[in-house]
Structure 1
Amino acid sequence: MRNLLIIGAGGFGREVYNSALESIGYGKDFIVKGFLDDRLDALDTFSNYPPVIDRIDSYSIKPDDVFVCALGTVTIKKKVCESILSRGGDFLTLIHKDTYISMNTKIGKGCILLSGARIHCDVSIGDFVVVQPYAIIGHDVVIGDWSHINALADCGGGSRIGECVTLHTSSFVLPSGIVEDNSTVGAGSVVLRRVKEGSTVFGVPAKIVLTPKKQ
């Protein structure tokens, strides 16, 4: 039995905690030990949650510990997870029992798949990817490491989602569309073909509203 620590005790962290209690392996492979958060008082106004045990960087990792990261900003998530990994930490993939996963799907380590997510056939999901409730991942989709697919987002069949991508709530990537690394698709937006690396797009159809900074 391993002890699960949830990194981040904000709103998403509380959501992940509730999902963990209904996830595959809970009570058999792992139990929830508590949270890590730099705000030690993050849960002071809430009840029925396990404690914030320590700050993220100062926590001493124990042999039976295992982690999931409930930080919604992909760049911060990557930095924090890489720090935990460098200190010998291990991450599990958390899959809610109500997640639909079809045949030939590959899912990496450290992922979080929440209630109602729909993962169709022949999909490849990288490491540390979050798929929130009722998001739809169509057939043959590839999602790169660290990306965050928010609730009700839809990745059409054959689409390619790069690393460190955020698809916000109810956004759509049409079949065979491409969202390159480090890009953001705004809520309710529709990607017809391609989002260039580092861009932020919004609207129907999605258009660039913020371009990457030149080095």
Structure 2
Amino acid sequence: MDKPVIILGAKGIAHPALEIFNSNQVIVYGFLDEDEKLHGTEINVVPVLGNPEDDGFLKLIGKKCEAFVAVDDNKYRQFLVQMLNEKRKVQPINAIHKTSYISTDATLGHGNFINAQANIGAGAKLGNHCILHSAAIIDHLAEIGDFVQVGAGSIINAGVVVKEGAFIGSGVVIVSGVTIGKNARVGAGSIVISDVKDGETVFGNPAAPIKK
């Protein structure tokens, strides 16, 4: 990658995203964050320049810089992606740690965060703007929708379908063939042996719906 990167967001996955770009010898120009208290500070000598909606910085994206959205909150992540699409006509780039493994015939979208030791198997499909934390496994032929977050050490087994906006906590195991619905949530350490409905929250071994 020839162009430097501006990272939108300076909390959560922003610091490991910087480490990913550093590990791939990609220059990070700076961070943009809505929290004014962070403006003028640094993360590992890289400055927090200003607000993500500041046109003075946004105008650099697509011409002199690429962009990566390092925001954990899905709604705000979607807002920033849409802003980049509409104002700059660009898609955020992927941040892929050099120690991760991605099969040669896996399919990846745009703007994904793939941390150290993550593994994406043969024929797997990863949508856009997903977050895969350290050592997450997406086994062969699994399908992950847009804006999905998978916690550290979780195992998404072969043929699993995880729909848009779902959250999978750390250390989760989803057995082969299960479907996780849109915007569903799976609590950390759960073992999921049956389908999870859209918007449902499950937890435990075996995972069961949490009553609201």
Could you tell me which of 48, 51, 66 is aligned with 2:44? Answer: 48
Q: Which has the higher helix share?
A: 2
Q: Aligned partners of 1:197 and 1:149: how far apart in 2?
A: 17
Counterpart of 1:75 in structure 2 is 75
Deviation per residue, 1:186-215 (Å, 9 max, x gap): 11111111110011111111111266xxxx
**Percent of residue pairs identical:** 25
Counterpart of 2:64 in structure 1 is 64
Q: Aligned partners of 2:211 and 2:23: how far apart in 1?
A: 39
* Matched residue type, 1:81: V
Counterpart of 1:35 in structure 2 is 31
8 Å contact 2:40–2:48 — kept in the other structure?
Answer: no
Q: Aligned partners of 2:173 and 2:154: how far apart in 1?
A: 6
TM-score by length of 2: 0.90
Deviation per residue, 1:124-175 (Å, 9 max, x gap): 1111111111001111000001111121111011100101111111111111
SS for the counterpart of 2:6 is: strand
Segments of 4+ in structure 1 off by > 3 A?
Answer: 43-47
The residue correspondences of 1:151-170 to structure 2 (distance < 5 A) are 151-170=152-171
Q: Aligned partners of 1:135 and 1:199: how far apart in 2?
A: 22
Counterpart of 2:131 in structure 1 is 130
Counterpart of 2:205 in structure 1 is 204
Q: Aligned partners of 2:173 and 2:40: how far apart in 1?
A: 37
**Unaligned segments of structure 1, at least 5 residues:** none
Q: Aligned partners of 1:32 and 1:149: how far apart in 2?
A: 25
Root-mean-square deviation over aligned CA pairs: 1.8
**Unaligned segments of structure 2, at least 5 residues:** none
Change (3 A) 1:46 1:32: closer
Q: Aligned partners of 2:78 and 2:211: how far apart in 1?
A: 22
Q: Aligned partners of 2:38 and 2:12: how far apart in 1?
A: 10
**How far does residue 47 in structure 1 lie from its aligned partner after superposition?**
5.5
**How far does residue 118 in structure 1 lie from its aligned partner after superposition?**
0.8
Change (3 A) 1:41 1:49: farther
SS for the counterpart of 1:21 is: helix
8 Å contact 1:10–1:42 — kept in the other structure?
Answer: no
Q: Aligned partners of 1:32 and 1:200: how far apart in 2?
A: 37
Bigger mean CA deviation after superposition, 135-144 or 36-45: 36-45
8 Å contact 1:199–1:210 — kept in the other structure?
Answer: no
8 Å contact 1:40–1:52 — kept in the other structure?
Answer: no
Counterpart of 2:9 in structure 1 is 8
Q: Aligned partners of 1:205 and 1:112: how far apart in 2?
A: 29
The number of equivalent residue pairs is: 206
SS for the counterpart of 1:87 is: helix
SS for the counterpart of 2:31 is: strand
